[in-house]
Structure 1
């Protein structure tokens, strides 16, 4: 191909301008990449901070922020990958010595494996030879998604008639969950889990089934959900009875928006949770979670829920619980709530006194980390030996420090809160089955 010599100053100027323009575009793209990387780093740092603080009294709000940041990260990282793909740039290899870079995890064990074998040609493309030596195979493993499938199960109940007396005998067909609609138990279980655990609305489930060529309307699924709820009622009663029969539970409550029929608006209801989990001290009793709904937060509701319960109850400082404590129920307060109040002080401004309080509380949690999973008797012995003196020293330090502080400050409020609940905060020291905080109940609220 012949090239035309650049014999004019105008052409040289145009070429220089083009080079300068491309350089400017490249610089702008590099700046944009750098900006996105800094945003990703910032969002990751914020996520780590929120996850660290997730067990405080405002964990519901923090959960929502975490979801928002996760979505922002998804959009930014997907956009960056799309830009790399469009520009035909392969991503830079990650260095093994970069601790902040997420490492690629190995494929999980136990998954079904399908092998696709691509045979080598029988003739050499270079010389046409047909005699070969075996070389090492190139193996690439990828994880693939198998689309969901729905099948029809035909239940055939064989019948016969006795020749001697005309009695009809037949096999025994299992009772179907919903006779009229003909959905199988697996389909109903999938719909219930998708709606209540994965939070997928029924109209979206209807669209997902539509992509499989199956027409199940939202109203039909809503009818199934209602009927399954009735079928599950005996199981719910058994779970609640199991919770009432144990002697250690965690409780919490959270506001929920519910429809207010006739007004076209929503109103705020309340969900209460009661949890038994003895895995922290090797209790073989099955773990269980019971949820209750109420239209408001009156103390009469937990009193009704716990009418048959007797034992230790981990809870926050909600005033409605006070009438429950006495002969039947022993209060165990939450050290995480105390810790959160000192954290709130540091959020406003640096405070060496609040830092000291957090350090002392942190020493208590260090002990809990070391004894988690031990039998209850061992936990009790180690707590009495190591955590008891730290807790007593913390109380003395707070009592000595509090009078020296302005009483209207948040720091003084945090100390008064701790002292007002000190007996309940100390229950866990002398009972290896009691936890230091109420995080078990707060974790049970997260799916909501």
Structure 2
């Protein structure tokens, strides 16, 4: 007989019952811990192959170099704006460039005075011309625009007339607005770093140094910033906004290592006639960044349960929760463990989303009426079911945590029921951020805070153009052509939701 058996034989019936109760309680606690760890392990296994390395390698070195060049050019442009150098000084600073390759196709664009009749009444004679060559790019093909400006002189009074040089986004620069738009969309829309574009251009017949591409990007970033500022002001006139944030690695100056920065995103709802998204790059996830971006705005913010937003709600901003986040926790339980409770929860959540599909095209008043009639009873049934199930599951389990999340945020989660202008979840902004994940795998990190803010600004215009059904390349090419002569009072006409292509 073993020692354990001998010990059990020595116990009387009450002692055995007490021991059994103790062992059962201990087993339940251990089972809860096992379930929790099993859930976390299953979730980690699903995420395993999404892990990214932040090792500093040759590709990242190329990205760092182009970022530095771009930042330097942007700083030079901003300094020039502040110092207002004379025309002679600007001429001295203008670098001398080599002639464009003779083998590239050329297209001549002639600029002549509107009238070649002199003010004295004589007919002027053409005595020469000035030619400026600009490098253009159609996907896969380089061409050269030859801008020919004829010189006309009056033989009687020697008056000279010539068409003025058209203003350009880069003064006396080589690239056309089409080439600049291509570089910007490729870098910030298609997430192709400049060192990759350098190779693509070389294969197309024109080697453009990466440092030159970086200078163009820096110049354009400075010129486009007023338009991005106008887009942010437009965004903050709306009563309902989405908000979310996603991590982006940013290089720490001096030591070649990266730390986690964040790209904050704000946009109008899918139900609003004005479609706009603005990205804001910040060096951390601190809630102060959201407060600085939103400023005095006091509308309703649709967001997740991140603590960084809590200070905003104390300032008077109304919180609207994300039903998708609550549903997602049950979906993980079902996907990882085939939990029957999670499956029942998903069925109840599905009823709410089924109603949302029916009201998507309605106006706010109609949407609110249908939600009160159909969604409110469905939400009440879900709440009662969650409360009942919570009494049946042990504390600390993954199921308990999923239920507690929904019950603890029930007010913000169901705020949409009383406001037809509110969406049921935050998926709209999450879909705007999703392309950034592709970018992270290509450009890997932001080389500086300035580079991150420039990327956020250009991406705001590119993604807002897409939201409004525009081709980002055509949109950027057009606004880059029009910006130099666009009055500041009419800058709003170039915003993506108001833009009309030039006739």
Asked if these proteins are the same fold (TM beyond 0.5), I'd say: yes
Tell me if 1:402 matches 2:404.
no
Partner of 1:31: none
> What's the CA shift for 1:196?
1.1
Contact 2:334–2:342 (CA under 8 A) maintained in structure 1: yes
Rounded Cα–Cα distance in structure 2 between residues aligned with 1:61 and 1:182: 47
Q: Where does residue 318 of structure 1 map in the other structure? A: 306
Secondary structure at 1:388 match in 2: helix
- 1:304 Cα deviation (Å)? 0.7
Contact 2:352–2:378 at 8 Å: present in 1 too? yes
| Aligned equivalents of 2:424, 2:141: Cα separation in 1 | 46
* Alpha-carbon shift at residue 195 of structure 1 (Å): 0.8
1:162 Cα shift? 6.0
Q: 2:213 aligns to what?
A: 221
Distance 1:302 1:261, change over 3 A: same
What displacement does 1:261 show? 2.8
Q: Which consecutive unaligned segments of at least 5 residues does structure 1 have?
A: 1-56, 66-145
Partner Cα distance (1:166, 1:399) in 2: 94
Change (3 A) 1:337 1:306: same
TM (norm. structure 1) is 0.64
SS at match of 1:331: strand
Residues 70-111 of structure 1 deviation map (CA, whole Å, 9 limit, x = unaligned)? xxxxxxxxxxxxxxxxxxxxxxxxxxxxxxxxxxxxxxxxxx
- Which one of 355, 363, 368 corresponds to residue 375 of structure 1? 363
Q: Please give the TM-score of this superposition, normalised by the length of structure 2.
A: 0.57
Distance in 2 separating the partners of 1:214 and 1:62: 42
Report SS of the residue matched to 1:301: helix
Give unmatched runs, 5+ long, in structure 2.
1-42, 52-137, 437-503
Q: More helix per residue: 1 or 2?
A: 2
Matches of 1:61 and 1:184, distance apart in 2? 44
Does the C-alpha gap of structure 1 residues 61 and 174 become closer, same or farther in structure 2, counting only changes over 3 Å? farther
- Give, in angstroms, the shift of residue 334 of structure 1: 0.4
How much has 1:430 moved relative to structure 2?
Answer: 1.5
SS in 2 for 1:177: coil
Q: Distance in 2 between matches of 1:324 and 1:300?
A: 9
**What does the per-residue CA deviation read over 1:14-47, in whole Å, with 9 as the maximum and x for residues that have no partner?**
xxxxxxxxxxxxxxxxxxxxxxxxxxxxxxxxxx
1:256 and 2:255 aligned: no
Distance 2:48 2:186 in 1: 24
The aligned residue for residue 111 of structure 2 is none
With over 3 angstroms needed to count, the CA separation of the structure-2 counterparts of 1:337 and 1:147, relative to structure 1, is: closer
- Give 1:260 shift: 2.2
Instruction: State the partner residue of 1:237.
Output: 229
Residue 201 of structure 1 deviates from its aligned partner by 1.6
Contact 2:269 2:423 (8 Å CA) reproduced = no
- Quick one: structure 1 residues 301 and 413, their matched pair in 2 at CA, closer, same or farther if it must change by over 3 Å? same
1-side partners of 2:157 and 2:391: how far apart? 97
How far apart, CA to CA, are the structure 1 residues paired with 2:155 and 2:279? 56
1:270, CA displacement in angstroms?
0.7
**Which of 310, 334, 351 matches 1:363?**
351
RMSD in angstroms over aligned alpha carbons? 2.5
* CA 346–156 in structure 1, closer or farther in 2 if over 3 Å, else same: same
Match of residue 423 from structure 2: 435
Among candidates 377, 400, 417, match of residue 389 of structure 1: 377
1:408-442 superposed Cα distances (whole Å, 9 cap, x missing partner): 11111111111111111111111111111000110
- Is 2:185 aligned against 1:193? yes
- Give the C-alpha shift of residue 326 in structure 1: 4.4
Structure 1 residues 26-175: aligned runs within 5 Å: 148-161=140-153, 168-175=160-167
- Is 1:275 the counterpart of 2:267? The answer is yes
Other-structure match for 1:212: 204
Between the aligned partners of 1:367 and 1:232, the Cα distance in structure 2 is: 42
Question: 1:338 corresponds to which residue?
Answer: 326
The alpha-carbon deviation at position 166 of structure 1 amounts to 5.8
**Which one is further off, 165-174 or 366-375?**
165-174
Task: State the 1:366 CA deviation.
Answer: 0.7
